Amino acid sequence: MEPEFQRMMIRVIVAGLVIIGGGTTALYVAFRSFEKKGSSRAFLWLMGLTFGIIVVCALLWRLSYGPE
């Protein structure tokens, strides 16, 4: 891989992680404000969705290189 491409990919990954972190925090606060006391269902859904998004992103990143 070219060095410029690697720098660009690192920037995209860092920006993506910042966006995912901010979105996760915002959704956590939103879900938490509407949930009943003592229930962690919203948090589990949030973590499950975040994990799914990260897995899909990693899969797409891996597939973007393809057979070389």
In this structure, what DSSP letter does residue 3 have? H
**What average pLDDT score do residues 38-62 get?**
78
| Cβ neighbours for 28, distance < 8 A, ≥ 6 positions apart | 43, 46
Residue 20 lies in a domain: yes
| Tally of structural domains, the chain | 1
Residue 4 lies in a domain: no
Taking a C-beta distance cutoff of 8 angstroms, is the pair 2, 35 a contact?
A: no
Helix 41-63, helix 3-34: angle, nearest 10: 160
Q: Give residue 49's domain range.
A: 11-63
Residue 35 lies in a domain: yes
Residue 33 lies in a domain: yes
Residue 53 lies in a domain: yes
Residue 5 lies in a domain: no
Which residue in this structure is represented by tokens 């949030």? 46
Residue 1 lies in a domain: no
pLDDT digits (tens, 9 = 90+) for 7-36: 888 888 888 888 888 888 887 777 777 766
What single-letter amino acid sits at 49? L
pLDDT confidence bin for 37, thresholds 50/70/90: low
